[in-house]
Amino acid sequence: MKAKPILECVPNISEGRDAEVIRQVSRVIEQVEGVRLLDVDPGKATNRTVITFVGPPEAVVEAAFLLIKEAAALIDMSKHEGEHPRMGATDVCPLIPVAGLTMEEAAQYAHVLGNRVGEELGIPVYMYEAAATRPERKNLAVIRSGEYEGLEKKLSDPEWKPDYGPTKFHPGAGATVIGARDFLIAYNVNLNTTSVRRANAVAFDIREQGRVKRQGNPLTGKIVRDEKGEAVRIPGKLMGVKAIGWFIEEYGIAQVSMNITDVRMTPFHTAFEACRTSARERNMRVTGSELVGLIPKQAMIDAGKYFLRLQNRSTGIPEREIIHIAIKSMGLDELAPFDPDKKIIEYLLEDGERDPLVKMSLRNFAYKIASESVAPGGGSVSAYAGAMGAALGTMVANLSSHKRGWDERWEHFSIVAERGQALVDKLLFLVDEDTHAFNRIIDAVRLPKGSTEEKAARKEAMQEATKYAIEVPLEVMRTVLEAIPLVEQMIEEGNPASASDGGVGILCLRAAALGAWMNVRINMPGVEDDAFRSKVLEEGNAIIAEVEAAEQRMRAKLESLL
């Protein structure tokens, strides 16, 4: 299943001293449904506030527009003073793809926002980073050169015509820079030293900028310069990483403090390992690390899988277990508890009402089914039976990957287990989705039917809801059909001691397919679309035939094994 699209926005507004203005500007974000305000960080010296919020892309774009509008109404740039470079009331507004989105898609959303700000608010807009319209405008510092004071002259230069909005100077709002960029991870690595100089040595080893080249002694030698007189630098190991060493009195240790600006080029576990290598070469030890702010779930999963592979361990385990391995391997809980539900963006945004059934205990799930409520019913139970069947096949793969004497095949079984875990997750999603599908039919039935138009709309809604109530169990059947070859493979290749577990898995999958097929067929009379009915019946019958044949094959195979 594709990850739910999540977009982050980090606008910087040119106000860091007036708490009421900051409150009013940030308040508009929470008016948009689906958007979550994560952080408001004002700076008095810079007279600038960094605001962070996340949510579905369209909702984030709407919230960003409302924020820019509110900032333009409340902030007068002609009176602004501050230490940080700036050119507008909303100075910069980057969009960051967190999950389920490509950088190109994030850039498209940035252009939608930029066009709307220019057209509706009359504010000049420049696009930067991945949304830049020309190479020379990718760099924010280049666009912002001359700042607010030089903006009126810049707008009169044809070379600096805004990407959106007027060329006319807007004295109150200035101009806004909008773009799309990578997620930035603020990350500190802890060292068993109190020396800032030694922490800096590690930082210089790993950061992209590296260190200044010197003649002779690397600390006191004369700086080597090129023909232009500029200092020659020895580049560091990691691209897209800024780093410095510092001492944290609160913890009594020195840290390598990093901003990882390109997590595609340098995942944060790679930065951790680079610090560990450099520290060891300098007779120091990394004791743990600290994540500042939030992180996308995929970054944690990538880290956990990296450390599992180092141990020749299967990566086909539930994501919470993978994340636990990442936390422990990198010592993310050394200085303070690390709560994934508060540090991982996707977990912060989870809708607890979306999948209530799979969050229940087994006892409560059974009691819920046994109650007088018509949902959850056979469809949800079929999906759960399928999840158990796929889980048993995945279990055999994981056990086989970890079996003594089978070390040379651990990766083969790990790949199978990853596929199995994905099928388990999909079937668990369908447990609740079957109940949501039933509720859509109930909602359609309750639509008004007084007028001719209302009757037509109600009928159409009922047809669409009924089709969806068929599609969900049909998807269960399709997923079962994907899972059966995996379980068969594990019965034949996996740990022989677990063959019976695979057999139970096949039986669960057969029950899931037959149960889902019953739910497809019982809803079929409510569909008036003959072509849809014919297509579904043909596909369903074919799946059942394959499932039944597989069950017979595996029972015969198991009889010979047992």
Residues noted as catalytic: 84, 434
Radius of gyration of the chain (CA): 29
Residue 310 CB burial class (10 angstroms; 0-12, 13-18, ≥19)? exposed
d(CA 424, CA 196): 48
Q: Which two tokens stand for residue 423?
A: 């099928």
The backbone torsions φ and ψ at residue 274, rounded to the nearest 5 degrees and listed phi first, read -65, -40
d(CA 562, CA 560): 6
Cα separation values, 109 from 60, 93, 173, Å: 9, 12, 22
d(CA 317, CA 380): 23
Q: Per DSSP, what are the bridge partners of residue 36?
A: 54
Whether the link from the prior residue into 97 is cis, omega within 30° of 0, is no
Virtual CA dihedral for 382, 388, 390, 392, nearest 10 degrees? -150
Q: How far apart are the first and last CA of the chain?
A: 37
Closest by Cα among 429, 463, 431, 458 to 445: 458
User: Residue with structure tokens 């229940």?
Assistant: 360
d(CA 299, CA 330): 13
Contacts of 474 (CB under 8 A, 6+ apart): 516, 520, 536, 539, 540
Q: What is the DSSP pairing of strand 90-99 with strand 286-292?
A: unpaired
DSSP string, 315-345: --S-HHHHHHHHHHHTTTTSSS---HHHHBH
The DSSP element (H or E) to which 243 belongs, if any, is strand 241-248
Q: Tell me which amino acid residue 341 is.
A: D
